[in-house]
Amino acid sequence: MNTIKNTGFRTIGGYQLSLLSRNDLKQLSEAADACEIERLRFTPSSQIAVSCTSEEQFSQFFQRIKPILKPLPTNGISTIFCCGGCNDCDHGLADTDHLASLLQTMDLPVPMPAKLKVAIAGCPRCCTMPRLRDVGLSPYSGKSRKWNLSFGGNGGIKPRIGDVIGTGLGLDEVLALIHKAVTLYQKEAKSGMRTATFVEHVSKDVFLEKLHQ
């Protein structure tokens, strides 16, 4: 387990939350009580950050809630931002959870040059901001169950809207194109270079040409 220090908070690294049942919430609350955790927050990437005063307190809390956490992907994807899609949102058009689980286990070359964040949105409202992530997915249309795919997006200090590299793709097609784009990035980007910088470095046209050749 890696830990990341925040101001007064520590994030439980390497794990994130999935959907929480009532029992999971109870377990979380009981663990916070037992370990005297004063404050807790959920990060934008569905991780848990807690205020704590000692390594022991942090470790005990982690052990207690470990059963309700799921490990982050180990294939080079650092985070998958995923809304509930058709499984738990009235606007949802697509099964985002299924796509997320396929990406979580996708066989990719590692190590990645830098963080690789993926976002999946269940409808065009795009609550997970896919165009601002390294890999972004949103439904192509309500009935087709197809996907739009963008690559090279970034938020933060130097925001960049990802380039649309595929539209109206079926599940197999979108997975194949993600694999191709990420593999190209992994092979050609310099260490520490995020996808947004990489696409600008090689130029969007050259990147697209290599991707579709």
CA separation for the pair 151, 177 (Å, rounded): 10
Between 82 and 112, name the residue whose CB sits nearer to ligand SF4. Answer: 82
Residue placing its CB nearer to ligand SF4 in the complex, 124 or 170:
124
Reference 175, options 118, 113, 128, 132; nearest CA is: 118
Closest distance between ligand SF4 and the C-beta of residue 184, in Å?
A: 28
Min CB(68)–ligand SF4 separation in Å? 22
Q: How far is the CB of 208 from ligand SF4 (least distance, A)?
A: 26
CB burial of residue 62 (10 Å; 0-12, 13-18, 19+): buried
Residues in contact with ligand SF4 by CB under 6 A are: 83, 85, 89, 91-92, 121-123, 125-127
Kindly give, in sequence order, each residue whose CB lies less than 8 Å from that of residue 7, ignoring residues fewer than 6 positions away: none
The answer for residues whose C-beta is within 8 angstroms of residue 156's C-beta and 6 or more apart is: none
The two tokens of residue 18 are 């999935």
Residue holding tokens 């919430």?
Answer: 25
Which residue, 125 or 212, is less far from ligand SF4 as judged by CB?
Answer: 125
**In angstroms, what is the minimal distance from the CB of 96 to ligand SF4?**
7
Query: Considering the complex, what minimum distance in angstroms separates the CB of residue 166 from ligand SF4?
Result: 19
Would you say 76 or 92 has its CB closer to ligand SF4? 92
d(CA 92, CA 56): 42
Judged by beta carbon, residue 85 or residue 153, the one nearer ligand SF4 is: 85
